[in-house]
Structure 1
Amino acid sequence: MASKWVRPEVYPLFAATGVAIGICAFSLLRNITGNPEVRVSKMGRAAGVLENHEEGRRYAEHGLRAYVQDKTPEIMPGINKFFTSPK
């Protein structure tokens, strides 16, 4: 019965679904633990709106964004340079 439902053709679908669930879980955990606007505890929620601009800036300028900030927005720069730069 299981071989009828779990075929090798379905494995890429399982992989894509697993990656999507992983990305959603990562985003959820990152927002719950690091977002300055999300307050899980009752005491944090009672604090109201805080003016913590520096904490928000640190959250928005995370490591990946800081790494790619000075890079050119190209997917394959070697191929782009090969076809666009004259010899």
Structure 2
Amino acid sequence: MGRWVKPDVYPLMAAMTFVTSLCIFQLTRNALLNPDVRVNKAHRGMSVLDNAEEGRKYAEHGLRKFLRTRPPEVMPTINHFFSKDKST
């Protein structure tokens, strides 16, 4: 493998591996946890599922609850540095 892969390609391979793993994670998460995906026959036969609580739990996951309490800033230190009043 070392003979075929040059060191210049390592960053590209790392980025592609990361993106591919994110895609696989999201597809697996949707297939297993999404309330709209109907895998078993009992749910496929029903035209409308009564799973509002399951859908609410899926939509309000832990990361979204955590980010709701955080300020909407990407780099708060830089934002405060450039927004503070310099005359005082």
TM-score range, shorter chain: 0.7 to 0.9
Q: What is the CA–CA distance in structure 1 between the aligned matches of 2:2 and 2:54, rounded to whole Å?
A: 51
Say whether the 8 Å CA contact 2:43–2:49 is kept in structure 1: no
The percentage of aligned residue pairs carrying the same residue is 51
Number of aligned residue pairs: give it: 86
Structure 1, unaligned runs of 5 or more: none
Aligned to 1:49: 48
CA distance in structure 1 between the partners assigned to 2:41 and 2:13 by the alignment: 38
Counterpart in 1 of 2:16? 17
State the distance in 1 between where 2:83 and 2:48 align. 51
Q: Give the corresponding residue for 1:69.
A: 68
Give the Cα separation in 2 of the matches to 1:42 and 1:16: 39
Higher deviation after alignment, 58-67 or 39-48: 39-48
Q: Runs ≥4 in structure 1, deviation > 6 angstroms?
A: none
TM-score by length of 2: 0.86
Query: Cα distance, 1:47 vs. partner?
Result: 2.5
* TM-score normalized by the length of structure 1: 0.86
Whether contact under 8 Å (2:34, 2:58) holds in the other structure is yes
Runs of 5+ unmatched residues, structure 2: none
Give the CA deviation at 1:44. 2.2
CA RMSD of aligned residues (A): 1.7
Q: How many Å separate the matches in 2 of 1:26 and 1:66?
A: 20
